[in-house]
Structure 1
Amino acid sequence: MQNQLTNSVLGLTPTLAEQQAYGYSAARLVGYCNPKGRLLASAWIGLFPSATDDRFILFISKDIAASTAKRLAMYVLRSKVKVIDLSAKWAVHGLYGSVNQISDTKRNANEVALRLPDVLIDGQSVARLLMAGPKDDFIKGQDSGEILNVWNELEVLSAIPRIVLATQEAFVPQMINFESVAGVDFKKGCYPGQEIVARSQYRGAIKRRLQLAHVDGASLDEGLVTPGAELFHDQDPTQPAGIVVLSAWRSSEQNRMDLQIECKLEALENGEIHIGSVTGPVLKTDALPYPLLEI
């Protein structure tokens, strides 16, 4: 994986039974690029040793898990490594709440937990925890559409992107702020697309960025705001200005849809950005919760 991913996996602090992987030392955002530097996948990774092996676990979008595992397995060669897609055998749950609530979360010995960066929403900091384990052993929490909606909302507002099937190979990492959320290590060795990613960083070749935005969803066609949906600028209606990365309804505000969008920088500076077509709903941009590293 050190030779395949955008971030270093060396030096990850092992997360032992009943511990939570948290902070850059134990939980890292990684990308997996094709040779052209376009992201095939993104994931959160932690080192969770088992009784017999070192075990790196990647939390990745389910719709690209099988293809990513298959591709990674092609590069195992003579290493004593197995790459396994556990999507069908393991359950994954997300929990959110106060820092104390998340820190005190109980689970059994077969489950692993990775804590994501906190999210500021409506003036309050919300902690998030990903938990995974064999379906037969998993301590199942409460399931509801409302809880899932809030989880998705928190992910969007974190402004940390996640690659899904619809956005595979759409972005060089910097186009979705990957370097600004500690998803790229520019000091590590080579990986697929590394030269293009490095050139984009040091030559200032990136003219597109991830931005938070929202839209009035009172009469919105949800098909317009799914990942991969195109955006258009009113001053250049002939070609897309960007695409939707992720989207979610705002739980505390009726009819508001929050989005992560990837968009041309010049389109963000003036004029209007529309979803779906130049006559579609108008997006309003919002502030990012972190500073961008200068390119």
Structure 2
Amino acid sequence: MSDWITALEGWRKSEDRVDFDTPDPARQALDATVVIPLIHLGVLDVIGSGAGKFLQGQTSAQVDLANGEFAPLTCFCTAKGRMLANAQLLRIAPDHYRLILHRGLVGTLRSHLKKFAPFYKSELKIRDDLALIGLIGKEAKALAEVRFDLMPPAVWHQAGDENVQLLAHPGHQTRLLACLPIDAAQEIVNRLTPQASLVGNAVWCLHDIQAGLAWLTPHHEDALLPQMINWEALGGISFKKGCYTGQEVVARAHFRGQVKKRLARAQLEGDRVPTLGTPLLDENGKSQGEVLAAEMDAYGQPEILAVTSTREEIGPLSVDVQPVKLLKLPYPIERLDPESLALASA
């Protein structure tokens, strides 16, 4: 465990999960403000004179949009259009880009990209020296202004400098993510906790679920088209840029309407949180999809994101013998161009 987590008296439940003794953490995020070590996320830097051009040929984002203010969603695909990882793309400085993604995919994405990086005079650095900290709740913006001396940005935008970056993520409550040197993380959290309860990162993951935002994990690497996690509805795919790896398949699926599975949000009528990959079964016991993310909500019921069939006649579904109640996503399933998203909030 990282020294700063140990010093905060947290314990690691798994490689990507940390917890604290704070009671009712999900409820705390509803009623007050919480601070969260986001140990399930990692950082990969792309640095070099050709870094922008390199990324332009590998990622679904229009890299020029990552201008130090707008920080678009993106994904990396195989030639068959299956995602290797999805991420948020930041520009830290000229010729210096940063990717935030699930920590379990940082190493494999680096291994994939480093085959091409030398041709663009670029290098890839896994940033284990950085910490990611989340803030959720009523006072999140005010605390960020005071403790980071930064004005919180709009959703999918960034503020800060080369040392500290502050990002805003979507949700029914304010959600801010700070990226900073790990040496400063404990001090920052200690300065935040008088006004914000320290909770485990399951709370952040729950708010991702409620925002309809799925972060790919090693369990689903090289298995899903971007549209299967509604990535184009979140502004994570530019259909106006040139070629990138997997672009032909991704574009064909969009323009021909060939996406047979989509991300759905649901609540389970039970009290067991299913594991990733647990199937959604119809009345006949046939799999109609599988779980991508699952967490217990503030009311003691599991909430999930699952990729499931788009057919309307599926009928009742269950997960781990728990009936599925489908919930409304907080965004429409339609194309959202990142170019428009960047312009609208410029």
Identity, % of aligned pairs?
A: 27
Give, in angstroms, the shift of residue 292 of structure 1.
0.7
Equivalent residue for 1:207?
260
Matched, 1:90 2:130: yes
Q: Rate the CA distance shift 1:259–1:198 in 2: closer, same or farther, 3 A.
A: same
Equivalent residue for 1:173?
226
**SS of equivalent to 1:35:** coil
- The question of whether the paired residues in 2 share the 8 Å contact of 1:200 and 1:206 is answered with yes
Q: Which structure shows the bigger proportion of residues in helix conformation?
A: 2
What is the aligned-residue RMSD (CA, Å)? 2.2
Equivalent residue for 2:63?
9
Q: What letter corresponds to residue 128 of structure 1 in structure 2? A: R
Equivalent residue for 1:65?
106
Measure, in 2, the Cα distance between the counterparts of 1:160 and 1:209. Answer: 12
Q: Rate the CA distance shift 1:144–1:104 in 2: closer, same or farther, 3 A.
A: closer
Q: TM-score, normalised by structure 1?
A: 0.82
- The question of whether the paired residues in 2 share the 8 Å contact of 1:231 and 1:275 is answered with yes
Measure, in 1, the Cα distance between the counterparts of 2:199 and 2:269. Answer: 19
Give, in angstroms, the shift of residue 144 of structure 1.
7.2
Give, in angstroms, the shift of residue 159 of structure 1.
0.3
Q: What letter corresponds to residue 65 of structure 1 in structure 2? A: V
- The question of whether the paired residues in 1 share the 8 Å contact of 2:147 and 2:188 is answered with no
Give, in angstroms, the shift of residue 39 of structure 1.
0.8
**SS of equivalent to 1:283:** strand
Q: Rate the CA distance shift 1:104–1:208 in 2: closer, same or farther, 3 A.
A: same
Deviations 1:90-115 (A, max 9, x none): 21111112363365253387222222
**SS of equivalent to 2:118:** coil
Partner of residue 149 from structure 1, selected from 198, 202, 216: 202
**SS of equivalent to 1:101:** helix
Give, in angstroms, the shift of residue 41 of structure 1.
0.3
Partner of residue 248 from structure 2, selected from 195, 219, 230: 195
Measure, in 1, the Cα distance between the counterparts of 2:137 and 2:199. Answer: 14
Give, in angstroms, the shift of residue 146 of structure 1.
3.8
Measure, in 2, the Cα distance between the counterparts of 1:105 and 1:165. Answer: 37
- The question of whether the paired residues in 2 share the 8 Å contact of 1:34 and 1:169 is answered with yes
- The question of whether the paired residues in 1 share the 8 Å contact of 2:60 and 2:237 is answered with yes
**SS of equivalent to 2:126:** coil
- Equivalent pairs counted in the alignment come to 262
Q: Rate the CA distance shift 1:78–1:275 in 2: closer, same or farther, 3 A.
A: same
Q: What letter corresponds to residue 56 of structure 2 in structure 1? A: Q
**Mapping of residues 37-48 of structure 1, within 5 Å:** 37-48=81-92
- The question of whether the paired residues in 2 share the 8 Å contact of 1:96 and 1:102 is answered with no
Equivalent residue for 1:29?
73
Deviations 1:135-194 (A, max 9, x none): 113344259774533212111101021101111122101111111000100111111111
Deviations 1:102-135 (A, max 9, x none): 6525338722222212x12xxxxx1112212221
Runs (4+) of structure 1 moved beyond 6 Å?
none
Measure, in 2, the Cα distance between the counterparts of 1:269 and 1:177. Answer: 21
Give, in angstroms, the shift of residue 197 of structure 1.
0.5
Structure 2 unaligned runs (5+)?
1-54, 150-160, 336-346
Matched, 1:106 2:150: no
Measure, in 1, the Cα distance between the counterparts of 2:144 and 2:197. Answer: 22
Deviations 1:68-101 (A, max 9, x none): 1221222113323211111x32211111123633
**SS of equivalent to 1:78:** helix
Give, in angstroms, the shift of residue 214 of structure 1.
0.6
Equivalent residue for 1:129?
176
Measure, in 1, the Cα distance between the counterparts of 2:203 and 2:301. Answer: 13
- The question of whether the paired residues in 1 share the 8 Å contact of 2:270 and 2:323 is answered with no
Q: What letter corresponds to residue 119 of structure 2 in structure 1? A: R
**SS of equivalent to 2:147:** coil
Measure, in 1, the Cα distance between the counterparts of 2:114 and 2:281. Answer: 39
Q: Rate the CA distance shift 1:144–1:73 in 2: closer, same or farther, 3 A.
A: farther
- The question of whether the paired residues in 2 share the 8 Å contact of 1:102 and 1:128 is answered with no
- The question of whether the paired residues in 1 share the 8 Å contact of 2:77 and 2:85 is answered with yes
Matched, 1:226 2:258: no
- The question of whether the paired residues in 2 share the 8 Å contact of 1:6 and 1:32 is answered with yes
Partner of residue 309 from structure 2, selected from 253, 264, 285: 264
Q: What letter corresponds to residue 292 of structure 1 in structure 2? A: I
Measure, in 2, the Cα distance between the counterparts of 1:144 and 1:210. Answer: 31
Equivalent residue for 1:17?
none
- The question of whether the paired residues in 1 share the 8 Å contact of 2:230 and 2:333 is answered with yes
